[in-house]
């Protein structure tokens, strides 16, 4: 990983607490991103829309991520990094506060778009700051700690906020995210050291990284390859009830397995990145293909399906962290933009995978078919990554 923009002045005696502060922002983002799925029927009833129509608020959030990631990072490149983090945490709090008070379909839709804007930019800035706090040989682990906040959210934040929303009101779940973001602001102020911005940075210069072949290759790898995971996982509920033939109460067990897999994969990803980032991504994509093919063939065996979901969660994190670091390296002087682009890529992949998986189900192929679609997407991502290594190597 390149050391561009990594300042030795960004050392602190409280490295663990600083990384925890950065991870807390990721926890808030992971909670707000995924809690909507669990509360969708409640939101739909509140705004008097059908569940499919209300589902557009999920797409609005993803659109905010895709637009906000390159735009905010490019505009804020000159700002000191801690100040930019504080603004982004404030934006996370604002977007969720607007969601909590919004009334009606369009206001909620716009609020979710606003909530998505700081998502990718936050991870871009936080990843660069985390890397600046540790020696070169531990930067992969530091970046994975930021991503760990998002993974832990799938195990703790999303179930807890969903329960809170069902117990009182769906609005309370988003109000809880506001509180988490505020605590994040306090912790960043207390433990994250000053990290200077780049006074020579410009919007044109930052966005110029989008023309780098290695950046394009890594971005497309995530967009296509990561979509393979969501082609299957987006339909986990009917897979559990219709194919595995378990009752609805078993669905949370599979969701928990995915979350635990995600946490495990994030922990492992940092160590793999510090060992060999290229092999990390290659191995993650190859393993994803094999797991999804096996899932398709053996999904009706409950224990195998549960292990498969755990592995999908773990491999998703391995690939996501690997591509995060790959993009930071490929982007050169625009490391922060590279890290932010990863989350734009993964959000597009989420929608692409779910859409293609839905197409094969609608065509009558059954609920096991999205796993084959996922394997095909992961294979395509692997091909793109290999072509990128051949024709768009990262410049030292």
Read off the pLDDT of residues 306-362 as tens digits, 9 standing for 90 and up.
999 999 999 999 999 899 888 888 877 777 787 788 888 888 888 788 888 888 888
Which parts of the chain fold into alpha helices (H)? 15-47, 51-54, 56-75, 81-101, 105-132, 139-152, 158-167, 170-191, 203-207, 213-225, 227-233, 236-238, 251-298, 302-330, 335-362, 369-391
Under DSSP, is residue 196 helix (H, G, I), strand (E, B) or coil? coil
CA distance 82 to 74: 16
Q: Mean pLDDT throughout 282-307? A: 94
Encode pLDDT of 16-42 as tens digits: 999 999 999 999 999 998 888 778 888
Using CB atoms within 10 Å of the CB of residue 383, give its burial: 0 to 12 exposed, 13 to 18 middle, 19+ buried: middle
Task: Check residue 88 and give its pLDDT.
Answer: 97
| pLDDT tier at 113, thresholds 50, 70, 90 | very high
Residue 67 pLDDT greater than 50, yes or no: yes
DSSP for residue 153 = I
Phi-psi label, residue 49: left if phi above 0, alpha if psi -120 to 50, beta otherwise: beta
For 1-201, which CATH class? mainly alpha
Residue entry with tokens 């922060």: 336
Residue 388 pLDDT greater than 70, yes or no: yes
Using CB atoms within 10 Å of the CB of residue 232, give its burial: 0 to 12 exposed, 13 to 18 middle, 19+ buried: buried
Task: Check residue 167 and give its pLDDT.
Answer: 87
Residue 134 pLDDT greater than 60, yes or no: yes
140 and 271 Cβ atoms separated by less than 8 Å: yes
Task: Check residue 341 and give its pLDDT.
Answer: 85
CA distance 393 to 53: 43
Share of the chain above pLDDT 90, in %: 45
CA angle 228, 324, 70 (to 5 degrees): 100
DSSP for residue 134 = S
CA distance 122 to 130: 12
CATH 1.20.1250.20 residue ranges in the chain? 1-201, 204-391
Under DSSP, is residue 195 helix (H, G, I), strand (E, B) or coil? coil
Distance (Å) of CA 375 to CA 152, 170, 177, 320:
26, 35, 34, 17
Q: Mean pLDDT throughout 228-249? A: 84
Task: Check residue 394 and give its pLDDT.
Answer: 62
How many Cα neighbours within 13 Å face the side chain of 304? 13
Tokens, residue 95: 């977007």
Sequence-ordered list of residues with C-beta below 8 angstroms from that of 29, at least 6 positions apart, any chain: 92, 119, 122, 123, 149, 150, 153
CATH fold for the domain made of 204-391: Growth Hormone; Chain: A; (1.20.1250)
Distance (Å) of CA 367 to CA 37, 182, 205, 356:
19, 41, 46, 12
Residue entry with tokens 């599979």: 254
CA angle 138, 140, 145 (to 5 degrees): 95
343 and 290 Cβ atoms separated by less than 8 Å: no
Residue 288 pLDDT greater than 80, yes or no: yes
CA distance 393 to 215: 10
The closest of 135, 169, 207, 188 to 26, measured between CA atoms, is: 188
Task: Check residue 73 and give its pLDDT.
Answer: 86
Tokens, residue 179: 């509180």
pTM of the model: 0.82
Task: For 261-278, give the DSSP string.
Answer: HHHHHHHHHHHHHHHHHH
Under DSSP, is residue 84 helix (H, G, I), strand (E, B) or coil? helix
């Amino acid at each position: 990983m390149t050391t561009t923009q990594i300042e030795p002045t960004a050392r602190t005696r409280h490295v663990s607490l600083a990384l925890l502060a950065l991870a807390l922002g990721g926890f808030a983002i992971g909670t707000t991103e995924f809690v909507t799925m669990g509360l969708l029927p409640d939101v739909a009833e509140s705004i008097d829309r059908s569940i499919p129509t209300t589902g557009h608020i999920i797409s609005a959030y993803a659109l905010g991520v895709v637009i906000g990631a390159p735009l905010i990072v490019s505009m804020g490149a000159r700002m000191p990094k801690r100040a930019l983090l504080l603004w982004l945490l404030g934006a996370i709090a604002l977007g969720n506060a607007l969601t909590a008070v919004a009334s009606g379909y369009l206001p909620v839709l716009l609020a979710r778009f606003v909530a998505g804007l700081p998502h990718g930019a936050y991870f871009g800035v936080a990843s660069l700051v985390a890397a600046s706090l540790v020696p070169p040989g531990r930067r992969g682990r530091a970046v994975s700690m930021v991503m760990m906040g998002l993974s832990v959210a799938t195990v703790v934040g999303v179930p807890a906020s969903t329960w809170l929303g069902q117990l009182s009101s769906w609005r309370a779940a988003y109000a809880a995210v506001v509180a988490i973001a505020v605590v994040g602001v306090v912790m960043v102020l207390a433990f994250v050291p000053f990290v200077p911005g780049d006074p020579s940075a410009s919007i044109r210069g930052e966005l110029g990284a989008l023309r780098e072949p290695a950046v394009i290759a890594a971005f497309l790898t995530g967009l296509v390859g990561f979509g393979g995971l969501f082609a299957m996982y987006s339909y986990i509920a009917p897979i559990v009830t219709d194919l595995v033939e378990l009752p609805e109460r078993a669905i949370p067990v599979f969701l928990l397995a995915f979350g635990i897999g995600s946490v495990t994969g994030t922990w492992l990803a940092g160590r793999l990145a510090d060992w060999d980032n290229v092999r990390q991504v290659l191995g993650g994509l190859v393993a994803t293909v094999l797991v999804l093919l096996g899932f398709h063939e053996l999904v009706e065996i409950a224990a195998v399906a549960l292990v498969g979901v755990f592995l999908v969660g773990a491999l998703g994190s391995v690939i996501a962290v690997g591509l995060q670091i790959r993009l930071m390296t490929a982007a050169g002087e625009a490391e922060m933009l590279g890290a932010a682009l990863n989350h734009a890529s993964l959000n597009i992949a989420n929608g692409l995978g779910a859409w293609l998986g839905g197409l094969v189900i609608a065509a009558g192929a059954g609920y096991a078919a999205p796993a084959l679609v996922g394997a095909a997407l992961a294979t395509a991502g692997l091909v793109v990554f290999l072509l990128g290594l051949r024709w768009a190597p990262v410049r030292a």
